[in-house]
Amino acid sequence: MISDSGCDFMGEDKRLQVGKQVKAYWCKDGFYYQGEGVITQLARDKVTVQLQERVAWSDDYTVGGTVSLPRISDSIHWSTRNCVRLQKKLH
Question: 66: helix, coil or strand?
Answer: strand
Sheet holding 66-70, edge to edge: 66-70, 46-51, 31-42, 21-28, 83-86
Distance separating alpha carbons of residues 18 and 3, to the nearest angstrom: 25
pTM, 2 dp: 0.88
Higher per-residue pLDDT: 65 or 87: 65
Name the amino acid, one letter, at 22.
V
The per-residue pLDDT for range 36-75, each reduced to its tens digit, is: 999 999 999 999 999 999 998 888 899 999 999 999 999 9
What is the model's pLDDT at position 2?
58
The per-residue pLDDT for range 17-41, each reduced to its tens digit, is: 999 999 999 999 899 999 999 999 9
pLDDT at residue 4 is higher than 90: no
Domains of the chain: 9-86 (2.30.30)
Strand partners, 28: 31
